[in-house]
Amino acid sequence: MRRVSRLAAVAAAVALLLTGCSSGGTADDGRITLEFQSLAWQKESVDANKQLVEEWNAAHPDIQVKYVQGSWDSVHDQLLTSFEGGEAPDVIHDASDDLADFAYGGYLADLRDLLPARLKSDIPQHSWETATFGDGVYGVPFLQEPRVLIANAKILEAAGVRIPTPERPWSWEEFRAVTKKLSGDKKFGVAWPLKEPVSATLNLSLSAGGRMFHRGADGKVTVRFDAADQVAPRTVHDQVNTDGSASGATLGMGGSDTLPGFFAGKYAMVPLGFSYRQQIVQQAPKGFDWQVLPAPAGRDGLAQGVSPQTLSVAEDSPHKKEAAQFIDFLLRPRNMVRLALGDWMLPTGTEALKDPTLHTEKNDWATGTALAGDLRSAPAQSVRGYAEWKDKVATPALQEYYSGSIGLGELRKRLVKDGNLVLARYQR
Amino acid sequence: MRPSRPARAGQYLALLAYLVFLAFPFLWLISTAFKPPRELASLHPTWIPKDPTLANFRQAFDEQPLLRAAANSVLVAVCAALIAVVIATPMAYVMARHRSALSRAATGWVVVSQAFPFVLLIIPLFLILKNLHLINSLPGLTMVYVVWSLPFALWMLVGYVRAVPPELEEAAAVDGAGKLRTLVSVTAPLLAPGLVATALFAFITAWNEFFFALVLMKTPERQTLPVILTHFLGAEGVADLGPLAAAAFLATLPSLVIFALIQRRLTGGMLTGAVKS
């Protein structure tokens, strides 16, 4: 009898748990409900996004937006499955370098006829290029960040080197000379965090006129590794292997990993994304004096490649027009500034960039904002086969080159010869 | 033959090294969870935080719905564990006691089913659950976890059933007990440690699972702890390390508590399954 009671109790418990598992239904009250999947992750940024959604919902009772939290770490797989299953969010936050597969796969709506003229004209053409694939525009680029040099101001001042500005940046040669001057006694002028060396190398190479990917008249893309493409990688290689002015130990690190050594005065400068300032403000020892410097300039000035954050609309969304209206609301100049401040990044919109809060000296916002006009579409993000070229060819080749295992000739051979074999498979 | 002193010392040394190896990540996680941001970025990190703080825990709770996510995880993992054991037990009994072509085929299928990668399954699974209106629903996720843990649970239980001597069941039959009575009164109590161990395995599998939960659960109200933890990660691997460590530390606690509570039964269960009659 006791056993029977026990069994009954277990059965009841399972039944109760299953009842608890049941998800509640959603009332169909006739209103349009859009799902907005955001990848904001820092508190200020999440708060800004949620607040904007609340403001929209208060002003648009017939078009309600539901905030859905996604994460950068897994967004590609999660979106791919959602697209395949026809369950994708209506409004999708992502980065432009993740959009190519989705755009070519027909999962994203072409926004050209959906967006208002105000938004189209507010964002510069070179930013639109980052989200243009084939003939269509599949995302609105709204936040971007240049790679900058974050410097230990005291070390630079003590060494008496010229401090570069966006108006008078260092050339690549001058940068190399300065890092030599800042090195010695187990200290380094610069620490390159090159765990993922390809995008950093390609994006910085734009300043010297390097493009590496060249589209022919037949529309096919081939890889070249000309003199202009070599300026940035050769500088890094020589700093590590010839001058001893860059730490070889940081080549395998991510950006955050270099900060302890930077705070300890081991490295005078670290090339990092502009948004890393937030971590520096949070983590730097009290009294640590740091400043933002522009990356070195070449024959094309301060040009560098970026892959901005984007907002897209799912092709399967039954409410594309309303989704585009919501994007237009999110990206009004004042709102774009709020999003930019939340993420410590730069807005793409020209009106938003004029906002005084982005021109303050505090945390060197002004230096970064001055670089916005030089940001270009990352060279390879629309090239089909780029992902494989990056993972199988360029990443190991650049890692070996930077560590001194191979020379420039071998690097060229791998990037070009092996690389073109990879790209050819995608362009038959 | 007793091992010599040096051999025994070597064994203890190896055991100690293994324990240190296992404990290191967890102890480092605890240490990180209590460090303020400036200590996290120190070039010379310390085991004991110089200026311990609960700020990371406060921030983790402020920024993410950790309690709700933990409740979802508990609910799904407990449901999945119970259902998997309830389904697997009779199946395991049949496979262990009645060896036939069918049971051999079933055993083979169990082994093969473990070889399927997640990514191969996720899209058909997603479509099936969508048609059943079970996307973004905890019962849907529970079903997935039951199916996912069932083959291994079955595999484990077959071993435990085989460890129960059939002679005991035969004796009960001689005493007049029917099949059901024999199962309930004789076999089930002897299987208890194995059932606990299997349920624990299914619980841990569901508790730690990330990919299915990520893809199937869309709204924060339904997401489980592993999915919520990724919200502390930014683009290009940047992490809000302190709150992430605090949340991850909290996420490990239920497993540890359950292990601590049933450790004896689990050990007994493992030994039972290890000895074949």
- Report whether pLDDT(A154) > 50: yes
- Report whether pLDDT(B270) > 60: no
Q: For residue B182, what pLDDT band results from cuts at 50, 70 and 90?
A: confident
Report B:147-176 residues touching A (Cβ under 8 A).
Answer: none
User: What's the mean pLDDT when you consider all of chain A?
Assistant: 91
- Report whether pLDDT(A194) > 60: yes
d(CA A352, CA A340): 9
Question: Out of A68, A81, A195, whose CB is closest to B122?
Answer: A81
| pLDDT in the model for residue A21 | 40
Question: Out of B79, B237, B238, whose CB is closest to A21?
Answer: B79
| pLDDT in the model for residue B1 | 62
- Report whether pLDDT(B125) > 80: yes
The residue assigned the tokens 């966006």 is A166
Q: For residue A28, what pLDDT band results from cuts at 50, 70 and 90?
A: low
Q: Name which of B200, B247, B201 is nearest B226 in CA terms.
A: B247
Answer whether A21 sits within 8 Å of B139, measured CB to CB.
yes
Structure confidence by residue, pLDDT tens digits, A289-302: 999 999 999 999 99
Nearest-Cα residue of chain A relative to residue B83: A14
Question: Out of B38, B43, B136, whose CB is closest to A266?
Answer: B43
d(CA A346, CA A143): 6
Strands A304-306 and A91-95: what pairing?
A: unpaired
Question: Out of B41, B135, B214, whose CB is closest to A74?
Answer: B214
Across A197-217, average pLDDT = 94
Q: What share of chain A in percent tops pLDDT 90?
A: 80
Across B72-87, average pLDDT = 95
Q: What is the ipTM of this complex?
A: 0.73
| pLDDT in the model for residue A418 | 96
Cβ–Cβ under 8 Å, residues A101 and A386: no
| pLDDT in the model for residue B271 | 47
In terms of C-beta density within 10 A (0-12 exposed, 13-18 middle, 19 or more buried), how is residue B23 classed?
Answer: exposed
| pLDDT in the model for residue A84 | 87
Cβ-Cβ contacts under 8 Å between A and B: the total is 126
Position with higher pLDDT, A330 vs A386: A330
Question: Out of A22, A95, A283, whose CB is closest to B40?
Answer: A283
d(CA B213, CA B75): 13
Which chain B residues are within 8 Å of A195, Cβ to Cβ? 237
Structure confidence by residue, pLDDT tens digits, B12-61: 999 999 888 888 999 999 999 999 988 988 888 889 999 999 999 999 99
| pLDDT in the model for residue B267 | 59
Lowest-confidence segment of A21-25, A104-108, A156-160, B252-256 by average pLDDT: A21-25
Lowest-confidence segment of A113-127, A253-267, B113-127, B169-183 by average pLDDT: B113-127
Answer whether B137 sits within 8 Å of A22, measured CB to CB.
yes
Question: What values do phi and psi take at B264, rounded to 5?
Answer: -65, -45
Which chain B residues are within 8 Å of A284, Cβ to Cβ? 38, 41
Report B:75-134 residues touching A (Cβ under 8 A).
Answer: 75-76, 78-79, 82-83, 86, 119, 122-123, 126-127, 130
Mutate to test the interface with A, among B231, B232, B233, B244 (most CBs of A within 10 A): B231
Strands A188-190 and A267-273: what pairing?
A: parallel
Measure in Å the smallest separation between the Cα of B50 and chain A Cα atoms. Answer: 14
Query: Could you write out the three-class secondary structure of chain A?
Result: CHHHHHHHHHHHHHHHHHHHHCCCCCCCCCCEEEEEEECCCCHHHHHHHHHHHHHHHHHCCCEEEEEEECCHHHHHHHHHHHHHCCCCCCEEEEEHHHHHHHHHCCCECCCCCCCCHHHHHHCCHHHHHHHEECCEECCEEEEECCEEEEEEHHHHHHHCCCCCCCCCCCEHHHHHHHHHHCCECCEEEECCCCCCHHHHHHHHHHHHCCCCEEECCCCCEEECCCHHHHHHHHHHHHHHHHHCCECHHHHHCCHHHHHHHHHCCCEEEEEEEHHHHHHHHHHCCCCCCEEEEECCEECCECCEEECCEEEEEECCCCCHHHHHHHHHHHCCHHHHHHHHHHHCCEECCHHHHCCHHHHCCHHHHHHHHHHHHHEEECCCCCCCCHHHHHHHHHHHHHHHHHHCCCCHHHHHHHHHHHHHHHHHHHCC
Q: Name which of B78, B19, B28 is nearest B255 in CA terms.
A: B78
Structure confidence by residue, pLDDT tens digits, A226-256: 999 999 999 999 999 999 999 999 999 999 9
Position with higher pLDDT, A120 vs B119: A120
Cβ–Cβ under 8 Å, residues A366 and A179: no
Question: Out of B123, B231, B237, whose CB is closest to A69?
Answer: B231
- Report whether pLDDT(B116) > 90: no
Lowest-confidence segment of A37-46, A242-251, A298-307, A380-389 by average pLDDT: A380-389
Answer whether A23 sits within 8 Å of B233, measured CB to CB.
no
Lowest-confidence segment of A6-15, A230-239, B49-58, B127-136 by average pLDDT: A6-15
Nearest-Cα residue of chain B relative to residue A267: B43
B237 lies within 8 A of chain A by CB? yes
Which chain A residues are within 8 Å of B236, Cβ to Cβ? 72, 196, 254-255, 273
B35 lies within 8 A of chain A by CB? no
Nearest-Cα residue of chain B relative to residue A81: B123
| pLDDT in the model for residue B174 | 87
Answer whether A261 sits within 8 Å of B119, measured CB to CB.
no
Which chain A residues are within 8 Å of B234, Cβ to Cβ? 41-42, 72
Assign residue A184 a region (left: φ > 0; alpha: ψ between -120 and 50; beta: otherwise). Answer: left
| pLDDT in the model for residue A275 | 95
Question: Out of A13, A84, A263, whose CB is closest to B41?
Answer: A263
- Report whether pLDDT(A134) > 50: yes
| pLDDT in the model for residue B111 | 77
- Report whether pLDDT(B187) > 80: yes
User: What's the mean pLDDT when you consider all of chain B?
Assistant: 86
Q: How far is CA A425 from the centre of its chain?
A: 27
Measure in Å the smallest separation between the Cα of A320 and chain B Cα atoms. Answer: 20
Across B189-194, average pLDDT = 88
Answer whether A261 sits within 8 Å of B222, measured CB to CB.
no
Q: Which long-range contacts (CB under 8 A, 24 or more apart) does A369-372 make?
A: A370/A166, A370/A167, A370/A294, A371/A146, A371/A148, A371/A166, A371/A294, A371/A302, A371/A304, A371/A346, A372/A144, A372/A146, A372/A346, A372/A348
Query: Could you write out the three-class secondary structure of B187-202?
Result: HHHHHHHHHHHHHHHH
Measure in Å the smallest separation between the Cα of B1 and chain A Cα atoms. Answer: 46
Across A315-323, average pLDDT = 96
Question: Out of A14, A66, A81, whose CB is closest to B215?
Answer: A81
| pLDDT in the model for residue A9 | 44
B16: amino acid identity, one letter: L
